[in-house]
Amino acid sequence: MLLTVSDRGDPALASSVVINITVIDVNDHRPQFTNSSYELTVPEDVAVGQTLLTLTAVDADVGLNAQLEYLLVNTGL
């Protein structure tokens, strides 16, 4: 995923970072996100702790194998 931030200056300043997403699935069906891409604009004065984006995925496995867990992990890189 490519995360890009920019201001509304003239000229506009921007910076980007690549975010690696790892999907781990130990069963026969991998999770599928409902959208293939997401784009949003976040104002610089957004409140800390506010939800910015909701991701939805489904797994065609059954029972416990169909449960999904999302984690954000800081790898310190």
Q: What is the DSSP string of 27-73?
A: SSS--EES-S-------TTPPTT-------EE--S-GGGG-------
pLDDT digits (tens, 9 = 90+) for 11-58: 989 998 888 777 777 677 888 888 888 888 888 888 999 998 888 888
More confident residue, 72 or 32: 32
Q: What is the pTM of this model?
A: 0.53
Decide if pLDDT at 7 tops 90: no
Q: Which of 5-9, 11-15, 44-48, 66-70 has the lowest mean pLDDT?
A: 66-70
